[in-house]
Amino acid sequence: MDRYASAREMTLTLRPDHPVYCFHRNILQEDAIAFRQAFPGKTAYAVKTNGEPFVLETLAQAGVDCFDVASPAEIAAVRAAAPKAEMIYMHPVKAQSDIRLALERYHIRTLALDHEDEVAKILRIVRALDLDPGDITLFVRIATKGHAAYELSKKFGAAPGHAVELLQRIDRIGFRAGICFHVGSQIEETDTYERALASADWVRARAGVPIVALDVGGGFPAEYGSDPRRKAVEVPSTLEILEELRGEIEAWGFADTPLVAEPGRAICARCISLVVRVLLKKGRRLYINDGIWASLSDSWTGKITLPARHIPDPARRQRSGDPSSIIPFKVCGATCDSVDILSRPFWLPETVDTGDWIEIGHIGAYSLALRTHFNGFYPDTIVEVDRPFADDGEPPESFASIETMAD
């Protein structure tokens, strides 16, 4: 990986015409270490957030020794990057052949489920491989309700009464039983975890079987940007949420239960910034070389205010407008379809023009992971950059805002 002092230096040296991901290794390590220190249990990084080998290797070097995986490809990536790390297979609905692969080839001993048919699938493989169910922990995923930027309990999770039956069934067979939930992503209020803990407590009490662990999932928020023209909305930080969570865990009687968390975004969002180029400026529209089919998948960027920085092309002699006037631009992505227009504007200096670059910060989560090859565009240039996005000279003056823009 080529290495530069700053994203600006990289940009002015390479004058990149294609998107470049700038990896801030120290930030990834800092955020991983901070989470591990603040969480009173096992930290299992959620690989789906960003499963690039350089991310997994850096996390392993920072001491992360457990990974939450959901597919054979994620399992293989973790084994290659961190051969000694533990893996927990927390996808509640798995292919039978993938369960076999996980148990037989990778010796994974922790899995999640939310239905009795999944117990049957796992049991079939356990019997075929002549494994002792007592060596295997099955987490029952319970449904939760809350306010996340992304609600995830719509898809998975057993209702409380059903979860009770599943725990009893698992215990009867001889498996070790755990309870897990995943409240969604970018959680902005601590009540969400409290409600889930209350539900876990109810389920545990009714089930009446030993619970060997409680997995509180992911959802811890990353710090993004804020719209400077608005009153900052008070959003608790991940460390504040963890502080409160510790209290709730105690209050709901889980202090003596081994804990697991599966943070994704909170660990890897800040470690990558992305330099894109303005291919064309057409009035208040900017056509850039990335978009919703690549790093800016609108399903997540559309709900988050990403900080951004204008890197003007020094080769441009003439500019019109006032550089201190920050105005909204509609951003059109690289592909030919009209879906590829960001739902929210980027606020940038009025002087931004064709050939300039925009560095978008804190884009390490769900960006590289969601890239597609649609229309032949697939950003894949990654460099290492020493200076963190937030400290690179002037503070980022621009941002992708919360408002939608009229045509």
Ligand X SMILES: *Cc1c(COP(=O)(O)O)cnc(C)c1O
Q: Which residue has the tokens 């930290």?
A: 43
CA 379-383-385 angle, to 5 degrees, is 135
DSSP 230: S
Half-sphere exposure of 171 (CA within 13 A, CB side): 17
Q: Which of 22, 180, 271, 336 is catalytic?
A: 336
Considering the complex, state which of residue 185 and residue 335 has its C-beta at the smaller distance from ligand X.
185
- Which is nearer to ligand X, 8 or 48 (by Cβ)? 48
| Residue 180 falls in the annotated catalytic set | no
Question: Contact between 48 and ligand X (CB under 6 A)?
Answer: yes
Q: Does 291 bind ligand X (CB under 6 A)?
A: no
Alpha-carbon distance values, 196 to 131, 182, 268, 276 (Å): 32, 9, 24, 40
Using the rule CB under 6 A, give the single segment among 45-53, 72-80, 353-361, 393-401 that binds ligand X. 45-53
Q: Which of residues 176-195 bind ligand X (CB under 6 A)?
A: 182, 185
Cβ 185 to ligand X shortest distance, Å: 3
For ligand X, the closer CB: 289 or 301: 301
Q: Is 94 in the site for ligand X (CB under 6 A)?
A: no
Smallest gap, in angstroms, from Cβ of residue 318 to ligand X?
44
**How far is the CA of 36 from the CAs of 44, 59, 115, 281, 363, in angstroms?**
9, 11, 31, 44, 21
Tell the smallest beta-carbon distance from residue 27 to ligand X (Å). Answer: 16
Residue 46 interacting with ligand X (CB under 6 A): yes
A 10 A CB-CB count for 1 gives 10
Q: Between the CA of residue 211 and those of 121, 135, 137, 147, 155, what are the distances in Å? A: 22, 14, 10, 27, 24
Q: Using CA atoms, how far apart are residues 117 and 93, in angstroms rounded to an integer? A: 10
364 touching ligand X, by CB under 6 A: no
Quote the CA–CA distance of 108 and 70 in Å, as a whole number. Answer: 12
**In this chain, which of 59, 64, 90, 136 binds ligand X, going by CB under 6 A?**
90
Identity at 399, one-letter amino acid code:
F
Q: How far is the CB of 246 from ligand X (least distance, A)?
A: 18
For residue 104, give the DSSP letter: I
CB nearer ligand X, residue 68 or residue 392: 68
Collapsing DSSP states into helix, strand and coil, what is residue 165?
Answer: helix
51 binds ligand X (CB under 6 A): no
Least Å from the CB of residue 49 to ligand X: 5
- Binding mask 231-270 toward ligand X (x if CB under 6 A, else -) reads -------------------------------xxxxx----
Least distance (Å) between residue 225 CB and ligand X: 18
Nearer to ligand X by C-beta: 259 or 332?
Answer: 259
d(CA 207, CA 330): 54
CA distances for 264 relative to 35, 43, 220, 270, angstroms: 11, 10, 8, 11
Q: Which residues are catalytic?
A: 336
- Residue ranges binding ligand X (CB under 6 A): 46, 48-49, 68, 90, 182, 185, 217-220, 262-266, 365
